[in-house]
Amino acid sequence: MTKKLFSILLFISVVGFSQTNIELISNLNQYPGDGYNDIWGYVDGVGIEYALLGVRSGTSILNLSDPQNPVEAAFIPGIFSVWRDIKVHGQHAYVITEGTGSGEGLQIIDLSQLPTTATLVNTIDTWFERAHNIFIDDGYAYVIGTDGGGGMHILNLSDPVNPTRTAYYTGSQYIHDVYVWNDTVVACAEDTYDLVDVSNKSNPQLISSSIAIPGIYAHAGWMTEDKRYFIGTEEFNTVDITVWDLVDRTTWDLVVPEWQMPTNSIVHNLFIKGNYAHVSYYSDGYVVLDISDPLIPLLAGEYNTPDMWGCYPYLPSGITICSDMDNGLYVFQFNESNIAPIISHSPINTVLNSDPVILSATISDDGSILEANLRYRTIYNGNTSPWNIVIDPNGPNGNIFEYEVPGQPDDTFVEYYFSAQDDDDNVTTLPEGGSGINPPGSTPPSTFFTYEVKVPGVPVILSFTPAGDTTIAPNGLVGFSVDASDTSGFNLGYTWFKDGQQLANTGNSYLYVSNSGLPYPRVDTVECIVNNGYNSVDLAWLVTVDDPSNVNGNNIPIEYSLKQNYPNPFNPSTSIKFSIPESEFVNLSIYNLVGEKVNELVNENLAAGEYNFNFDAVSLPSGIYIAQINAGSFNKTIKMTLLK
């Protein structure tokens, strides 16, 4: 019989991050049964600001005179659609959808009567019935992702209610979104970003294309204020955000190949205002990046909502309006002055060994970080240690700090939090709520990250049958069983093999049936691997199939026996084998030298056969112990030596 041990480690991680530098002013969910899509903004002639919120059933126009209490001024019904995009030119809003049915085409809404009302003044389906996006610049609308080819329609808005088409561009095939300034278009063309010359609005010409990055979707993006860098969003959750240098418009130079939130969330849309990119993430919500150096985007603020679609940061008041697919309108105030440090971290929930643990955090700031640290404490056997402070001995790698927490014994809980202080003495802790400077975070937050040290043990074999290799007749059978436990609390699994081939049986027993049609004598191998997911024990038997005259016909012992334990001496466990030739009530107990019973391994009726039980003395002191068996009239004892 052989025994083998295997081990593996598993780390489970989740993500935590704070909500920083962004204040929630209000949230309005007026159409919870419909759901929402994109958003845009508008300012009327007297300076009243509005949110133009895409609802799946139409367009809601919301008065933001009091940003804490938005009020709907008008609702323009439209075709029900998951997708709805809105842009504004002068006193008119232009709305497209991908919905089908009555009312398809480009909706034109007159906003001149606000704040009293707004009116649908035209719906045009001359050139397309459905579209995915629209962009307006310098008196022209660029409608993209339309039915009938998915190219780009250029519409002259000189007559805002009755546009005329100047061109239909198909040189980039399907276009999902565009960014336009003056005579240039960046077309987000699924696989590539394309630069298109539209100086002649009747004859657009492709200038250049970016490389196609494997696994991404060229989804949307915006140019920096100096019109040198294009910052794209790719939506397929591969690289999230890319930065391209277009100083030479014939060449796309990828200067930032990826920027991602630590949460692995999917990015959607991005808009640039000054030195900040305002980004909507589906599950991270409203995110603001400091792009004062476009080559090093830094997280400057974020506010998590479940299903963010779009954002609009261009209202004169400085508020940002955002749309959430399930929760409607959000009104935010981004605080771009004196930004406190931003900390993000992917914590470990479980550590499956007692080695030191490296915990990393990304810490960014609009200035510089003066000091950053991690504090941890341990909870073991009901005792909680004081807080211990750890710093990164090598300093950060860019804005990534690493902290080493010493290894801990099994069943220890480790609580920890991060702190950072910048050159303006702003302090941030993660989780939020801590305070104190020099060093930062001397006052802990009210909640902490926690991981558990859970060291998987080796499964313990309590007993198994047969007790050793066996011989049977060609038409015989023999039952195999294993009784095991896991002292570290993990679930056990059993995998059986016959002659190296895995069997379908997954329980702790297996019935071997000899095939009389196969040649004999022969030797088969039966193996059982007991596994807790990290460590395993392997039991193997040899089954000799031989002529009936050479076999004890029923494979039943012919006498009572109690074998000497093995190993002996032992620490901390040993195996005790015995056999009974007929069904009996069996008691197998362990005694110390003063006659006290310290363990009872068996106290039940057993069928005739050979048995093997494990005696675990982990909680007993070193010494001599007696194993005694009583089975009917059979009584026998053996001495065992425990050496620790």
C-alpha closest to that of 7 among 346, 347, 348, 355: 355
> What are the boundaries of each domain within the chain?
21-334, 341-453, 457-555, 556-644
What order do you get walking across the sheet with 342-345 strand by strand?
Answer: 16-17, 342-345, 357-364, 400-405
Domain covering 556-644 assigned CATH 2.60.40.2550 in the classification: yes
Which backbone phi and psi does 515 adopt, to 5 degrees? -90, 110
The model's pLDDT over 32-43, given as tens digits with 9 standing for 90+, comes to 999 999 999 999
C-alpha closest to that of 309 among 266, 352, 252: 266
Q: HSE (CB half, 13 Å, CA atoms) of 9?
A: 11
- CB neighbours of residue 637 within 10 Å: 11
CA dist., res. 75 & res. 117, Å (int): 9
- CB neighbours of residue 93 within 10 Å: 24
CA dist., res. 429 & res. 417, Å (int): 7
Q: HSE (CB half, 13 Å, CA atoms) of 287?
A: 34
CA dist., res. 170 & res. 43, Å (int): 34
For the chain, the C-alpha Rg in angstroms (whole number) is 37
The reply to whether 341-453 and 556-644 are identical in fold is: yes
What is the value of pTM for the model shown? 0.62
C-alpha closest to that of 90 among 39, 54, 139, 49: 139
Mean pLDDT per block of 10 residues along the chain (644 residues) reads 31 42 94 96 97 98 98 97 97 96 94 98 96 97 94 98 98 96 95 97 97 88 97 86 96 93 85 96 91 88 92 97 97 85 90 95 88 97 96 91 96 97 92 91 95 91 84 82 88 94 90 82 92 91 76 64 91 90 90 92 85 90 94 93 89
User: Partners of 361 in the beta sheet?
Assistant: 345, 401
231 within 8 A of 242, measured Cβ to Cβ: yes
Which structure tokens are listed for 571? 């620490």
CA dist., res. 94 & res. 107, Å (int): 6
Long-range contacts of residues 203-211, Cβ cutoff 8 Å, at least 24 apart = 203/167, 204/152, 204/154, 204/167, 204/169, 204/171, 205/171, 206/171, 206/172, 207/249, 207/250, 208/249, 208/250, 208/251, 208/252, 209/172, 209/252, 210/244, 210/252, 210/254, 211/252, 211/254
pLDDT score, position 3: 34
pLDDT score, position 342: 86
CATH number belonging to the domain at 21-334, selected among 2.40.128.20, 3.40.50.2300, 2.130.10.10, 3.20.20.150: 2.130.10.10
pLDDT score, position 644: 83
pLDDT score, position 143: 98
CA dist., res. 431 & res. 299, Å (int): 17
Q: What is the CATH number of domain 341-453?
A: 2.60.40.10
| Distant-in-sequence, close-in-space partners of 145: CB < 8 Å, separation ≥ 6 | 98, 131, 132, 133, 174, 175, 176, 177
CA distances from residue 134 to 102, 140, 208, 277, 628 in whole angstroms, order as listed: 20, 10, 22, 20, 88
pLDDT score, position 6: 28
288 within 8 A of 255, measured Cβ to Cβ: no
Which structure tokens are listed for 170? 């198909």
CA distances from residue 564 to 362, 483, 561 in whole angstroms, order as listed: 61, 20, 10
46 within 8 A of 63, measured Cβ to Cβ: no
CA dist., res. 299 & res. 21, Å (int): 10
In the chain, what are the helix, strand and coil shares in percent, each to the nearest 5?
Answer: 0, 55, 45
The model's pLDDT over 611-622, given as tens digits with 9 standing for 90+, comes to 888 899 999 999
CA dist., res. 343 & res. 372, Å (int): 10
User: Partners of 389 in the beta sheet?
Assistant: 375
CA dist., res. 178 & res. 135, Å (int): 7
CATH number belonging to the domain at 457-555, selected among 2.60.40.10, 3.40.30.10, 3.40.50.720, 3.20.20.220: 2.60.40.10
Residue count of the chain: 644
For every residue of 581-634, DSSP letters joined together read: SS-EEEEEEEEETTS-EEEEEEEEEE-SEEEEEEEE-TTS-SEEEEEEEEETTE
Beta pairing class for 536-545 and 5-6: antiparallel
pLDDT score, position 115: 98
For every residue of 144-198, DSSP letters joined together read: ES-TTT--EEEEE-SSTTS-EEEEEE-TTSS--EEEEETTEEEEEEBTEEEEEE-
